[in-house]
A = this chain, B = another copy of it.
Amino acid sequence: MDILFLGTSSGTPTKTRNLSAVAVQKAGARPWILIDCGEGTQHRLLHTPLSLPRLQAICITHMHGDHCYGLPGLLASAAMSGRSEPLTLIGPGALREWLALTEQATHLQLGFVLHFVDVAELTGRQGQVLVEGFSISALPLSHRVPSFGYEFVETGLPGKLDVAKLKADNIESGPLWGRLHRGEQVTLADGRVIDGRDYQLAPEAPRRVIVCGDNDNPALLAGHAGSADVLVHEATFTQAVAARLGAGPQHSSAMSIARFAADAGVANLILTHFSPRYKDGGAGLTIGDIEQEAKAHYGGKLFLARDLEVFHLDREGELRRASYPSD
């Protein structure tokens, strides 16, 4: 399972970091899901293998421009690329109205169906959207405007073949095993008729990834973050800057999210959405300051995302930075 960062800056783009956008994808598969779509997201896609025709769903965390102003252009380019498959769009209700007026005002004809789902419908125990390979549900967060996190849970995981039982029953390996794995009924050479469903082990536990929108209250993720394999969360400021700015911006500091992640037992924490005042290096405030502060409060596996970076989550829940396929 791959998590790809298309933009990691908050508010305004910088020369090295674009506005919020994250892709989630099964490793090696072509379908993908986009979370947030800051201006210039389609430009970032030009430098990745992600293709607009294979986009399954777009999840918008909240209606601030740095998280959604890239949406009309990305949809227009999807249409110009010849997409005809319906596309699922999940977000706050105001998103649907804004898009409708944008389509009308700018004479945008998509040529494919946008299947809109109000994110508020996905926050209960039953609410979820199924796309290829994942179920998507939502978690309410706390920000200046309604904001949400999205939880992606793998679906359709095959049960493993019970090889020990096959051997004990003297069923030799070969093409038959594939049919048994698919749950088919099979007649053996010796006349026995056996059922594949009797030789399946339970599927592995699905991997779970949570990608959050802006949020000043990580405790809202309690009960979810601890059981997720990866939590992607904003760390817009260091605590010193957050304290100086006061409660107005309603963002998390590195300290506040790191403390929560430590308490909740988050296995892998990826921080993103950094204020442009933090530079990648040099004098003054740096992303390194955010990293140091988070490390001081969280002993789990910590990453600070950069643009066009891929994180690969393996079956054992191990998360590692992977190099991007060269474009």
* Interface residues in chain A, defined as those with a beta carbon under 8 Å from any beta carbon in chain B: 11-15, 18-19, 39-40, 42-43, 46-47, 63-66, 68-70, 72-73, 76-77, 80-81, 94-95, 97-98, 101-102, 105-108, 144-145
Q: Please give the count of copies of this chain that the complex contains.
A: 2
- Tell me the bound Cα distance from A26 to B27 in angstroms: 52
Given A12-B77, A39-B40, A40-B39, are A106 and B68 neighbors across the interface (CB < 8 Å)?
yes
Assess whether A64 is in contact with B107, with CB atoms less than 8 Å apart.
yes
Which residue of the partner chain, among B40, B47, B64, B77, contacts A15 with CB atoms under 8 Å?
A: B47
Assess whether A72 is in contact with B65, with CB atoms less than 8 Å apart.
yes
- 27 A-B pairs with CB atoms under 8 Å apart are A11-B80, A12-B76, A12-B80, A13-B46, A13-B77, A14-B46, A15-B46, A15-B47, A39-B72, A40-B43, A43-B43, A63-B106, A64-B106, A64-B107, A65-B72, A65-B106, A66-B73, A66-B76, A68-B106, A69-B69, A69-B72, A69-B76, A97-B101, A98-B101, A98-B102, A98-B105, A107-B145
Nearest-neighbor residue (CB-CB) of A12 within chain B: B77
- Tell me the bound Cα distance from A253 to B106 in angstroms: 23
| Closest beta carbon of chain B to A62's beta carbon, Å | 9
| Closest beta carbon of chain B to A236's beta carbon, Å | 13
Which residue of the partner chain, among B40, B69, B106, B108, contacts A106 with CB atoms under 8 Å?
A: B69
A73: chain B residues at CB < 8 Å are 19, 39, 65-66, 69
| Closest beta carbon of chain B to A45's beta carbon, Å | 10
Assess whether B64 is in contact with A43, with CB atoms less than 8 Å apart.
no
A106: chain B residues at CB < 8 Å are 63-65, 68-69, 98
A12-B80, A69-B72 given. 15 additional CB < 8 A pairs?
A11-B80, A12-B76, A15-B46, A39-B72, A40-B43, A63-B105, A64-B106, A64-B107, A65-B72, A65-B76, A66-B76, A68-B106, A97-B105, A98-B102, A102-B102
Assess whether A43 is in contact with B80, with CB atoms less than 8 Å apart.
no
| Closest beta carbon of chain B to A162's beta carbon, Å | 50
